[in-house]
Chains A and B, each alone.
Chain A
Amino acid sequence: MVEGTSLSDDQVKPNIVARYVGDETITATIAVAPGLNGPWSYTTGIPNSNLDIVAPPPQYLAVAGWAA
């Protein structure tokens, strides 16, 4: 059995925005539009072989949502 949801064409504001803020870091903000909830911002780090990762890589944030 399969069910689904469809995106309305009139949704003009994003729910989540992620921005590049440097060679090692990205910020993502949830619930960027005015409303009852949020916003919540998270910093994630881009792995590399030479430097400490400054924050959890993005995949870890996705798994954190899974765990919650």
Chain B
Amino acid sequence: MVTLVGVAYRGNIALNDITAEFKVEPIPDKSGMGFGVREVVTLIGDLTESERVRLERASNFCPVGQAMSKGSMQIKDEVRWSSKETKSASHVPDDLPNLDASIPTIPFGTVSGMYLIETKEHDETGGMIHEGESKVTIRFENLTRKSCSIVLGGHSTAGLVPGPFPLAYSGWASSTVATLSRLLPFGGNGADGLKVELFMAGIPGGSAEAQANASEGVVGYRDVKRRITVPGTPSDIPLKAVQAALLRDPMSITYQNGGVLLSHDVVIG
């Protein structure tokens, strides 16, 4: 949402408010990702058709969304064992082992974003200096209780909330940990000590450049280094087992191959 707020500001588009609704669906056979999303963006304002089209294109190419829908991440992997050995895992051989364990299916749910317009920041001349923040409500099906969480993300001077990209990446790092914890042959201590670290370069021109790219329909490829620390030694947890597990991680597949977006609608509210 904050991408569209920035694009609207720079294009002198009278966007008064915006919401983003995602439905999350488990799809067991969807290219290994295991899930898909349906997105509806609602634009509120007195918009011309050309302005709506421009914002729709920006929505299609928002930096965070394009990483998942178009697969714009270039990942370098490194595996480190608690015994201190470290190996590159970026070259994936053909003879990876079959891992018998399965990845758990995620539940149905929704992710609803509300723009907090009062958090938009301006300088003394009235120019926008930060797009502000969004409140995102996550709801998902559970066995015995309703489950709802709220997170904040966006761009603000005080840095009170994380940016949308880091927020999304924290889900990716967590997904990697979840997948490895289920698939690797850990011994008696289980997956204790399993850790994933992400090293990311910033976008050279910051959010302004990312928004300009979005409004022009540009795919921005980003390099990320991922270090996976596993307990034990390479003989306990072989490198090829880690590589085989990474190829089955839902978010890693999504970020490398795209295709998670099942439908995308932009409407005037």
Contact = CB atoms under 8 A, between A and B. Distances in A.
Given A38-B162, A67-B111, A68-B113, 10 more contacts: A1-B216, A15-B169, A19-B195, A28-B173, A37-B159, A44-B174, A63-B37, A65-B164, A66-B68, A67-B134
A57 B162 contact: no
Contact of B154 (A6, A8, A15, A68): A68
7 contacts: A16-B170, A31-B162, A47-B104, A61-B171, A64-B138, A64-B168, A66-B68
Nearest to B173: A18
The listed residue with most A CB atoms (<10 A of its CB), out of B2, B134, B178, B223, is B178
B164 A7 contact: no
A37 B171 CA distance: 19
A60 B174 CA distance: 11
- Contact-residue size bin, chain A (C-beta under 8 Å from the other chain): 35 or more
Contacts of A47: 104-107
B223 A23 contact: no
B169 A16 contact: yes
A54 B224 CA distance: 29
A55 B1 CA distance: 24
Interface of B: 1-2, 20, 22, 24, 35, 37, 39, 62, 64-65, 68, 74, 76, 104-107, 109, 111-113, 133-134, 136, 138, 140, 142-145, 147, 149, 151-154, 159, 161-162, 164-178, 181-182, 190-204, 213, 216-225, 227, 250-251, 254
Contacts of A49: 104
A27 to B, nearest CB: 8
Nearest to B35: A59
A56 B225 contact: no
Nearest to A42: B170
A58 B251 CA distance: 8
A5 B140 contact: no
Contact of A67 (B20, B165, B192, B251): B20
Interface in A6-27: 6-8, 11, 13-20, 23, 26
A56 B39 CA distance: 18
Nearest to B152: A68
Nearest to B191: A20
A59 B227 contact: no
B47 to A, nearest CB: 21
Nearest to A47: B104
A53 B187 CA distance: 24
A64 to B, nearest CB: 4
B221 A2 contact: yes
Contact of B171 (A13, A40, A59): A59
A55 B112 CA distance: 16
Nearest to A63: B111
B222 A5 contact: yes
B184 to A, nearest CB: 11
A46 B168 contact: no
